[in-house]
């Protein structure tokens, strides 16, 4: 038997053990690296990770996906945090969901869009059975309960007749019924001018009146025009509203003039006076509660339509229907003379 070289054998054994240890070390390190970088243990982007399965973008629903908006059952990630179970560790603390599990904010919807099962406008537009007011029942007004008053802007037009036609078509009036017109040309709101002042037109025809459709202040500006005339018009309108309230008038539509045009009549400082009177009269109208007063600025209807007037002030043929339509739409929006 040959003699065994003990030093050579020891060297061989040592090399074998070193190679095995190196192989084992590499395997362990590879396993650790695999676990740290997205392996089966689950880390960022892996199963159970920060944005992985069950996360805000992974399986379980992207923003606005099924199960609710903006995210299903939570504020952005299923079961917590933004990171699942800690900084980036596998199988973190929020498995099963800490606070948002089951939908903290949006599960089951936010209560519906405005006007659909919630919000401020359920039931319709203001004055039409909604907006917190009583139901506006159409066909409950008689023609003699609605009174037009004013001056020649009304009296020389067919506004009352056209408004009556619209009310009949909408079912607010019977086919043979009509609104009452007691407007008179040349009259003022305040004292002065020919004929019956506008408040007197109401006083002489107030019996049984529930709704008033009116203008006023044009002649106070055109034939007057001073600050004292504007003040007198405002004072007269305030007293008129008070008288109406005491007599049981429910609602008023106050339609104020379009801008005058220089055509037939000399208008002088009429526009400047109306521009000063308009905001004060609107504020007075808006402040009324008994009766309530609904303001209509006819500039919005008339601007860009010079054909609505022949003389620059009064309503011409083409202007009657649009003006009456604007008045009647304001009535419908606010349940005036339904």
- Residue 171 belongs to domain with CATH number: 3.40.50.1110
21/150 same-domain check: no
pLDDT of residue 135: 85
Domain membership flag for residue 71: no
d(CA 89, CA 93): 9
- Residue 57, judged by CB atoms within 10 A of its CB (0-12, 13-18, 19+), counts as middle
Domain membership flag for residue 90: no
Domain membership flag for residue 12: yes
**Consecutive 10-residue averages of pLDDT for the chain (338 residues):** 39 38 34 35 36 36 35 37 37 37 38 36 37 75 98 98 98 98 97 91 98 98 96 98 98 98 92 98 98 98 98 97 98 98
294/178 same-domain check: yes
Count of domains for the chain: 2
Give the DSSP H/E element, type plus range, for residue 293. strand 292-297
pLDDT of residue 81: 38
184/316 same-domain check: yes
Domain membership flag for residue 74: no
d(CA 271, CA 285): 20
pLDDT of residue 134: 60
Domain membership flag for residue 185: yes
Q: Which residues constitute the domain of residue 15?
A: 1-35
């Amino acid at each position: 038997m040959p003699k065994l070289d003990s030093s050579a054998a020891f060297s061989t054994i040592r090399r074998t053990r070193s190679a095995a240890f190196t192989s084992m070390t590499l395997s362990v390190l590879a396993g650790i690296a695999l676990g740290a970088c997205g392996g089966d243990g689950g880390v960022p982007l892996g199963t159970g990770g920060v944005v992985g399965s069950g996360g805000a973008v992974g399986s379980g629903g992207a923003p606005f996906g099924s199960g609710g908006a903006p995210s299903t059952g939570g504020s952005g990630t299923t079961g917590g945090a933004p990171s699942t179970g800690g900084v980036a560790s596998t199988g973190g603390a929020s498995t099963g969901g800490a606070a948002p599990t089951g939908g903290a904010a949006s599960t089951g919807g936010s209560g519906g869009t405005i006007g659909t099962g919630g919000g401020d406008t359920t039931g319709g537009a203001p004055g039409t059975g909604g907006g917190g007011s009583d139901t506006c029942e159409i066909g409950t007004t008689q023609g003699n309960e609605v009174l037009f008053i004013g001056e020649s802007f009304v009296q020389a037009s067919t506004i009352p007749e056209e408004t009556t036609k619209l009310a009949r078509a909408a079912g607010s009036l019977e086919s043979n019924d009509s609104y009452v017109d007691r407007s008179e040309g040349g009259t003022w709101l305040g004292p002065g001018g020919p004929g019956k002042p506008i408040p007197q037109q109401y006083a002489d025809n107030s019996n049984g009146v529930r709704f008033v459709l009116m203008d006023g202040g044009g002649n106070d500006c055109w034939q007057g025009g001073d600050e004292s005339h504007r003040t007198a018009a405002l004072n007269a309108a305030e007293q008129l509203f008070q008288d109406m309230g005491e007599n049981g008038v429910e609602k008023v539509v106050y339609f104020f003039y379009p801008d005058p045009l220089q055509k037939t009549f000399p208008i002088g400082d009429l526009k400047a006076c109306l521009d000063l009177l308009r905001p004060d009269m609107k504020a007075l109208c808006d402040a009324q509660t008994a009766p309530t007063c609904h303001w209509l600025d006819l500039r919005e209807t008339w601007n860009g339509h010079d054909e609505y007037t022949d003389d620059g002030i009064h309503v011409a043929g083409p202007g009657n229907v649009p003006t009456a339509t604007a008045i009647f739409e304001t009535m419908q929006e606010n349940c005036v003379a339904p």
